[in-house]
Amino acid sequence: MRIKTIVAIDGPAGAGKSTIAKLLAKRIGADYIDTGAMYRAVALQLIRTGTDYNDPGALQAMLDAMDVDFSEGHTLLNGEDVSGLIRTPEISAVASPSSGVPAIRYKLTALQQAMGKRKSIVMDGRDIGTVVFPDADFKFYLTASADERARRRTEEMRAKGEEADLETIRADIIQRDYQDSHREFRPLRKADDAVEIDSTNMSIDSVVDTMMAFIEARDR
Ligand code: DC
C-alpha cells in the first residue's frame, strides 16, 4: 500500500457504495468517508433551523455556523451524533434537491478535501472522482440496475424491522437518479478515468475483490 491513498467511489443511490467502501477501507487500512451523510446532515440542519436554501443570505449564515465531521463511523453535526436521524425518506427528499445548491457543495467539498489531507481515505459520493479528488489514486463508478437497487434497499429496511414497499422505494430511487444526474451544478457523472463496476449480478465480496485487484495490480 502506498503511504497515503485516496480511493473515490461514485455512483447512483442504492448501488451499495457505502457497504463496499466501508469494507474496502478496512482492507486497505484507510478511513471511510460517507459524503452522502454530509449532504444529509445539511438537510437535517436546514429542517431544524427552518432555513430556505433558496435564500442565499440565510443559507450562508447557516453554513458558516455548521460543521460536519466523522468519528468512528458516526456522523457529527456541530459535535452531535446525528447518524440515527439522517437515513429517513424525509431527509432524502430534502438532501437530493438541496445538494444541487452551489453554496452547499462548496462548503462540503472544502471539508472533504481537508479530510483527504489528513490520511488515507475511501470516500463515496456522486462527485468524488470528478470534483472533490480529480487526482484520486483510484476511481470507481459503482452501478446496479434500478430494480436490483430497489430490491436491496427494501431487504435492508425489512431486516431492520422497518416497513418497506418495493414499488415506493423503486420510484424514489428512479426520481433521485434523475435529480442527482440532471442537476445543473456538478451532477452525478462517471469520471472519464473511473473503472465502472456493474454490481447487479455480483456479491458484495466479489465487488470488493474486484476493486482490491485493481489496487494491488497498480501497487505491485
Ligand atoms: O448517498 P446518499 O443517498 O446518502 O446521498 C444523499 C443525497 O446527497 C443524494 O440525493 C445525492 C447527494 N449527494 C451529492 O450530491 N454528492 C455527494 N458527494 C454525495 C451525496
Give the per-residue pLDDT at 89: 84
Give the per-residue pLDDT at 14: 87
Q: Do 142 and 107 belong together in one domain?
A: no
Relative to the CA of 124, which ligand 1 atom is closest?
18
Q: Do 195 and 125 belong together in one domain?
A: yes
Give the per-residue pLDDT at 44: 98
| The total number of structural domains that make up the chain | 2
Residue 220 lies in a domain: no
Residue 78 lies in a domain: yes
Mutate which of 109, 180, 184, 186 for ligand 1 pocket (most atoms within 8 A of beta carbon): 180
pTM above 0.75, yes or no: yes
Distances (CA, A) of 146 to 11, 16, 118, 195: 12, 12, 36, 20
Q: Output DSSP code: residue 194.
A: P
Contact call for residues 16 and 173 (beta carbons, < 8 A): no
Question: Of 118, 151, 181, which residue constitutes the final position of a domain?
Answer: 118
Q: Which residues of the chain have pLDDT under 70?
A: 1-2, 219-220
Residue type, 107: K
**172: domain range?**
1-30+120-214
Give the per-residue pLDDT at 1: 56
Q: Do 113 and 128 belong together in one domain?
A: no
Q: Ligand 1 center to residue 75 CA distance, Å?
A: 14
Q: Output DSSP code: residue 142.
A: E
Relative to the CA of 112, which ligand 1 atom is closest?
18
Q: Do 20 and 88 belong together in one domain?
A: no
Question: Of 118, 151, 175, which residue constitutes the final position of a domain?
Answer: 118
